[in-house]
Amino acid sequence: MDKIFIEGQQTLSGSVQISGAKNAVLPIMTAALMAEGRSVVTRVPDLRDTRTMIRLMEIVGATCSFENGKLSIDGSTVNNPEAPYDLVKTMRASFYVLGPLLARFGVVKVSLPGGCAWGPRPVDFHLKGLEKLGAKITLESGYIIAEAKRLQGTKINFEFPSVGATGNIAMAAATAEGTTIIENAAREPEIVQLCEYLNTMGACIRGIGTTRLTIDGVETLHSADIDVIPDRIEAGTFLAAGALLGEITLNGVIPEHLDSVILNFKEVGCNVSTTSNSVTIAQADKIQPVDMTTAVYPGFPTDLQAQWVALMTLAKGSSMITDTVYHDRFSHVPELNRFGANIKVENNTAFVRGVDALVGAPVMSTDIRASASLIVAGLAAKGRTEISRVYHIDRGYEQIEEKFRSLGANIWRKNPIV
Ligand code: UD1
């Protein structure tokens, strides 16, 4: 299995292109299943998760081709509304086929996702929402079976503005009979783009970007093309490295999507400037400790919590980082402590006491964003870091070593068996 090696403390400089957003492209791909016809999606990041979703598209019968960031999905041939355990267990976002395939076929069978490295991650909001739309839901041998001749518009009030449930229900409701209102909807840019895409396909969704979505059901959707928004989480990961190691520019971003993140980097002492489509960050002389609490958009994203903890390990003082979205998401902490960091976790808060330096160490990836925090720490640490289980990184980061190498980092990948 591949490992990533880093010889740390190299100064970073130059610019890097940010890829399309993983969390935007995955639901867009499943939305394309709702139409008969060929949809072309551009700026698609070549990630393990994208490839897994393409496999799932093909299993349900879609015809796909993927080359140079351009993905074509033909939904005309879709004929098998079933997402098997083998795929769902490797990528929970497979659950995004639930709403679209139910809407199109009146029946869908999707493996129930299990827990994951950061807690139980239930899907009850998705299922309750579909039930409210009139679906009959049963559980059979680990699979959710949802059935409905035609879904019926209704009012749904989410207990929490879940990204996945908002996306799934918006897709299902797009072709329901009558109007659906989703209260407490997620407002993440990836959900905004999904709703805008559905509208391009012929859906009628109002209130996009607010907590109240109004969806007037239409008979059918047609295929449509779309260019995926840039990945704000990949961008935030590069900002964390820039804050510690030099001056770098991220191109092809939407700075507005990073507003709360940029604010925090400024508080740390970094110089951050933006243009309409780029962000430049210059290393802080001294990393100031900044407490941070994750929140739903427009708050600080939970997907950057691990990278923030990595940054704070080198702050001149103590900080508290609380995750209100995923309470158990701290598997990176024991690994970061292997670099000599001083972090303790109590409930959903990491207490970080800044240290003078990190020292490279062998560490292990546990999930996508935890892995990213290990790369940030490894880049800043003295000496060599060896990261194993890097398939987690490949799920969500496109060419991460190449990108960091182009900025001056000494980072490479090796398969120790070859
Ligand atoms: C998505 C992102 C993930 C990100 C997360 C929060 C994708 C593919 N993944 O995950 O990277 O970290 O948003 O921004 O876009 N919840 C329930 N019941 C449900 C659904 C969610 O209790 O049915 C809870 C979760 O346990 C969690 C919170 O709601 O505590 C938020 O989860 P949600 O927004 O649904 O995350 P995902 O869509 O799974």
Same domain, 111 and 31: yes
Domain C-terminal end among 195, 227, 259: 227
Cβ within 8 Å of residue 67, ≥6 positions away: none
State whether 242 and 194 are in the same domain: no
Find the catalytic residue in 116, 195, 204, 270.
Answer: 116
Report the pLDDT value the prediction gives residue 40, as an integer from 0 to 100: 98
**Other CB atoms closer than 10 Å to residue 253's CB: what's the count?**
26
- 178 and 254 belong to one structural domain: no
- The closest residue, in CA terms, to atom 17 on ligand 1 is 122
Work out which ligand 1 atom sits closest to the CA atom of 301.
Answer: 14
Minimum-distance ligand 1 atom for the alpha carbon of 26: 8
Domain boundary among 227, 259, 292: 227
Is 270 a residue of the active site? no
Q: Report the separation in Å between the CA atom of 162 and the middle of ligand 1, taken as the mean of its atom positions.
A: 5
Mutate to test the pocket of ligand 1, among 98, 116, 162, 328 (most ligand atoms within 8 A of CB): 162
Cβ proximity of 259 and 286 under 8 Å: no
Instruction: Clarify whether residues 187 and 258 are in a common domain.
Output: no
| 144 and 212 together in one domain | yes
Q: Domain range for residue 158? A: 22-227
Tell me the pLDDT of the chain (418 aa) as tens digits: 899 999 999 999 999 999 999 999 999 999 999 999 999 999 999 999 999 999 999 999 999 999 999 999 999 999 999 999 999 999 999 999 999 999 999 999 999 986 666 566 789 999 999 999 999 999 999 999 999 999 999 999 999 999 999 999 999 999 999 999 999 999 999 999 999 999 999 999 999 999 999 999 999 999 999 999 999 999 999 999 999 999 999 999 999 999 999 999 999 999 999 999 999 999 999 999 999 999 999 999 999 999 999 999 999 999 999 999 999 999 999 999 999 999 999 999 999 999 999 999 999 999 999 999 999 999 999 999 999 999 999 999 999 999 999 999 999 999 765 5
Helix ranges (H only) for 106-176 are 124-132, 163-174
- How many Å lie between the centroid of ligand 1 and the Cα of residue 324? 12
pTM exceeding the 0.75 threshold for the entire prediction:
yes
Ligand 1 atom with the shortest distance to the CA of 119: 26
**Residue 373 DSSP class:** H
Nearest alpha carbon, ligand 1 atom 3: 303
Same domain, 357 and 271: yes
CA–CA separation, 230 and 221 (whole Å): 25
Distance 186 CA to ligand 1 centre (A): 10
Supply the CATH number for residue 211's domain.
Answer: 3.65.10.10
207 with 256, same domain: the answer is: no
For a mutational test of ligand 1's pocket, the pick from 231, 325, 369, i.e. the residue with the most ligand atoms closer than 8 A to its C-beta, is: 325
Q: Do 316 and 400 fall within a single domain?
A: yes
- Ligand 1 atom nearest to CA at 164: 38
| Span from the CA of 121 to the centroid of ligand 1 (angstroms) | 7
- Whats the size of the chain, residue-wise? 418
Task: Say how many Å lie between the CA of residue 164 and the centre of ligand 1.
Answer: 6
Whether 220 and 235 share a structural domain: no
What is the C-alpha separation between 300 and 306, in angstroms, rounded? 12
With CA atoms as reference, report the closest residue to 283 among 317, 242, 251.
Answer: 242
Side-chain-facing half-sphere of 209: CA atoms under 13 Å: 4
Alpha-carbon gap, residue 4 to 11, rounded angstroms: 19
Are residue 254 and residue 305 in the same domain, yes or no? yes
> What does the alpha-carbon distance between residue 241 and residue 417 come to, in Å, rounded to a whole number?
30
Nearest to 125 by CA among 85, 184, 176: 184
Q: What is the rounded distance in angstroms from the CA atom of residue 201 to the CA atom of residue 189?
A: 18
**275 and 185 co-located in one domain:** no
Rounded CA separation 238/379 (Å)? 11
Q: Residue 228 Cα, ligand 1 centroid: separation in angstroms?
A: 20
d(CA 34, CA 198): 10
For a pocket test of ligand 1, which of 25, 160, 324 has the largest count of ligand atoms closer than 8 A to its C-beta?
160
Boundary residue ending a domain (227, 262, 285): 227
Q: How far apart are CA 181 and CA 227, in angstroms?
A: 27
Total of domains in the chain: 2
Question: Best substitution site from 92, 144, 163 to test ligand 1's pocket, by max atoms within 8 Å of Cβ?
Answer: 163
Structure letter (DSSP) for residue 230: B
Buried-exposed string 166-187: b where 16+ CB fall within 10 A, e elsewhere: bbbbbbbbbbbeeebbbebbbb
Pocket residues: Cβ below 6 A from ligand 1: 23, 26, 93, 121-126, 160, 162-165, 190, 302-303, 325-326
Distance CA 278, CA 16 (A): 10
The amino acid sitting at 87 is L
CA-49 nearest atom, ligand 1: 8
Which residue's alpha carbon is nearest to atom 25 within ligand 1?
A: 121
Whether residue 103 sits in one domain with residue 194: yes
Residue listed under structure tokens 């391009």: 200
